[in-house]
Amino acid sequence: MPSWPSWTRRSSTGPVSSPSPTRWGRTRPTWPATSRPPWWPSGLRECSEAQDVITEAKRNALVGSRCLALVDEPGRPRSHREAPEIDGIISVPAHLPVGSWAQLEITGAMGPDLVAVPVAGRVGVRVTA
* pLDDT tens-digit profile, the chain (129 residues): 455 454 444 445 544 544 555 555 555 556 565 566 666 666 676 777 788 888 889 999 999 999 999 998 999 999 988 887 778 889 998 988 888 899 999 999 988 889 999 987 766 666 555
**Residue 106: CB atoms within 10 Å:** 21
Residues 6 or more apart in contact with residue 72 via CB below 8 angstroms: 78, 84, 98
Here the CATH number for the domain that contains residue 48 is: 2.40.50.140
In a domain, 100, yes or no: yes
In a domain, 14, yes or no: no
Residues 6 or more apart in contact with residue 71 via CB below 8 angstroms: 77, 92, 96, 97, 98, 99, 100, 101, 102
pLDDT (0 to 100) of residue 31: 57
pLDDT (0 to 100) of residue 3: 52
In a domain, 48, yes or no: yes
pLDDT (0 to 100) of residue 115: 94
- Domain that residue 56 falls in: 44-126
In a domain, 36, yes or no: no
Q: Which of 54, 44, 45, 55 is nearest to 87 (CA)?
A: 55
Q: Which of 70, 68, 129, 120 is nearest to 99 (CA)?
A: 70
Number of domains present in the structure of the chain: 1
In a domain, 74, yes or no: yes
